[in-house]
Amino acid sequence: QRVCLKFCVKNGIKCSEAFIEMLKKAFGDDIMSQPRVYEWYK
């Protein structure tokens, strides 16, 4: 998931609810928590 986050940051994809939904779809219940995702985006 970290690699996916880094890819999105470098490509200018914003961290939003839609992005969180993409992670859920890709990783199912094993997704990082939403606060953790936002922390990685900083």
What is the number of domains present in the chain?
1
CA–CA distance, 30 with 12 (Å, rounded to integer): 24
Q: Is 24's pLDDT higher than 80?
A: yes
Distance of CA 17 to the CA centre of its chain: 9
CA–CA distance, 42 with 40 (Å, rounded to integer): 5
Residue 28: what pLDDT? 87
Residue 41: what pLDDT? 67
- Provide the domain limits for residue 21: 1-41
CA distances from 16 to 5, 7 (A): 12, 15
**Whole-structure pTM value:** 0.49
The pLDDT confidence band at residue 25, using thresholds 50, 70 and 90, is confident
Residue 32: what pLDDT? 79
